[in-house]
Structure 1
Amino acid sequence: MTPPLVPQFGVYPAIFAYIMLLAAGIFLWTKRDIVTIIFFAVSVAAAFSAGIITLTGITAVVLLGGLCFAGFKKIDRENNFFLHLLVKGLIAGLGFMMIFHLYPGFHNLQLLNKVQISEDAVPYSLFLNYDSMCVAIIIMFFNENLRLKADRGTLMAVRAGLLFGLLGVIVMGGTGLAMHFFKFDFKISSLTLLFLFCNLLFTCFFEETFWRGYVQNTIADYVKIDFVAVLITALVFGVIHIPFGGINFAVLAALAGLIYGYAYLRYRRLESCIVCHYTVNVTHFIFATYPILASAYKV
């Protein structure tokens, strides 16, 4: 895993890079693709000057963009089945490496370092994951069906996300308590606003874009059975959480993946699964041990 950022020219160029990246994401709501490209390019340039991304990281960004262009725009699955499958697999593999910080060349800005949020929890560190956000923005840019939409369906998708989020709180909350994964711990602290902001943009947005928007959709395209795609994606989503919290965390993540996946499947809008995911995470942060009880960590 690449080390946290030590800014070369101060923290302000780094902050500017993140602001430009968020601006690129916001303009995905519009059809002004050239504006999105400009903001994204400025962000990468600023990130390079600040030491957030190196030439190796830029290579990954360009490569992912090229693969997405080929996979979404140029290669037809019906006429080039195996080539299409190969490209889609490469997108998944490279995206996975980037969101789990396995691809070198990125040095994400660290905001919190082993902070004790709950008294009997494992310490919590918070990064602004530039590499992960790049993955989400690039995939969404080339797959227009995934783009967040400012239309009449947005409010419906948000409402649905809240309802599915409530279901997730009940199911995962009950399961987590039964597994002694966490306990009730109500807290509003100086870190709450920071968490609310960062978790929405740097966790829920990119995770749902990648896992539900890309992985689940891609599997569904090939297996032709939507719920099988939801199940496979949820299982993989659970397994990859083992290093972050052990077996208990993996079980909860798989349950979460089922709920988030169905929220997306039901409405075909990323807004629904993003809001669902965010509702669960915020409830967990405010009302329960965060991130997990130290005694619950069992790999």
Structure 2
Amino acid sequence: MAPDFTHALPYLFLWVAFGAAMWRGPRLVGPPLIALSLTAAVVAGIVEWAGVAVLALFAGACLAAVRADLSLVLRTLSWGVVVILTLALGMNQVPSIHNVLALDRVSVSASSADFTLYWNYDALFAGVLLYLVCVQPQANTPWRRALVATGGILVPTLVVVLGTATAVGYLAWDPKWPAILGVWIPSNLLITCVFEETVFRGVIQRHAGRFLRGRVPAPAFVALLVASVAFGVAHIAGGMTYVFLSTLAGVGYGAAYHLTGRVEAGMLVHFLLNLTHLFLFTYPFAA
């Protein structure tokens, strides 16, 4: 069942903050919306006060990491805190943050495995903060050009990833109209894709490309591969086949980011691949 309004409100504030930053930049409305989200999360029982302290530390570390006027030592230490807390938040390892259970051991079809779905407030908070502070500003690519480039990447990514997954037996053809869309779409598009694409494309691929410039041939290509492999390894809990498939998908997401300079392009390819997976194949994998 869908989370009620009290539990959904903290997520809504973060989604509005993300949308405002995407269209207008993060400086004016981002901080108040994040504060409102945290307040609503405390009231809803999603975040305890110890969790507020962790999220405040994460926000402070993000702000310090991008301050050019701070010493290299302080910025390096800040990036260390950002990396550690991003891992902890993304892996739901902060015990004082209680994510909202949206689906409990459901099956979308007879041939699909059961799965449980949480709306992960910790990952969403990390993704939105990183997007506002460490990713913006991005390339000002005209939207028509960005859509054309994204569409050009989407089709081969769908064919390669879903075709390979079917060939190795991880997925099976299973067209359907899932009853879980109302809960699944916000979780996948606005939590999973926002967090993962911000981290792996907006932070890792972007900063790896800058670091490798002048050090290796084709630094942008190497950075894309680094981010894609990191994305695959992050899914190791699903097994080595899932790592391989996630790495393949990461190449497509990274290519969309590289061609547009916008993490939203990676998010769109990521979401549409997952949506196609849900509609046309066993989800999350064959039973």
Q: Which residue of 2 aligns with 1:134?
A: 125
Alignment-mate amino acid for residue 34 of structure 1: L
Q: Which residue, out of 64, 89, 95, partners 2:58?
A: 64
SS of match in other structure, 2:230: helix
Q: Which residue of 2 aligns with 1:209?
A: 198
Cα 1:86–1:32, aligned 2, differ >3 Å: closer, same or farther? closer
Uncovered stretches (5+) of structure 1, i.e. residues with no partner = 1-6, 295-299
SS of match in other structure, 2:201: helix
Kindly state the Cα deviation for residue 146 of structure 1 after the two structures are TM-superposed.
4.8
Percent of aligned positions that are identical: 29
Per the normalisation by structure 1, the TM-score is 0.86
Q: Which residue, out of 44, 50, 73, partners 1:50?
A: 44
Q: Which residue of 2 aligns with 1:4?
A: none
Uncovered stretches (5+) of structure 2, i.e. residues with no partner = 214-218
**Hey, what's the Cα distance between the residues in 2 that align with 1:289 and 1:157?**
31
Q: Which residue of 1 aligns with 2:8?
A: 15
Does residue 180 (structure 1) correspond to residue 174 (structure 2)? The answer is no
Per the normalisation by structure 2, the TM-score is 0.89
Moved more, 200-209 or 32-41: 32-41
Kindly state the Cα deviation for residue 32 of structure 1 after the two structures are TM-superposed.
6.2
Q: Which residue of 1 aligns with 2:233?
A: 239
SS of match in other structure, 1:63: helix
Does residue 30 (structure 1) correspond to residue 24 (structure 2)? The answer is yes
Q: Which residue of 2 aligns with 1:163?
A: 152
Aligned residues: 279
**Hey, what's the Cα distance between the residues in 2 that align with 1:115 and 1:264?**
33
Does residue 265 (structure 1) correspond to residue 258 (structure 2)? The answer is yes
Cα deviation digits, residues 64-105 of structure 1 (max 9, x gap): 1111111112456xx72x554443233122112101101222
Cα 1:50–1:268, aligned 2, differ >3 Å: closer, same or farther? same
Q: Which residue of 1 aligns with 2:280?
A: 287
Alignment-mate amino acid for residue 118 of structure 1: S
SS of match in other structure, 1:126: strand
Alignment-mate amino acid for residue 80 of structure 2: G
Cα 1:196–1:14, aligned 2, differ >3 Å: closer, same or farther? closer
RMSD value over aligned CA atoms? 2.1
Over 6 Å off, 4+ runs: none
**Hey, what's the Cα distance between the residues in 2 that align with 1:146 and 1:287?**
36
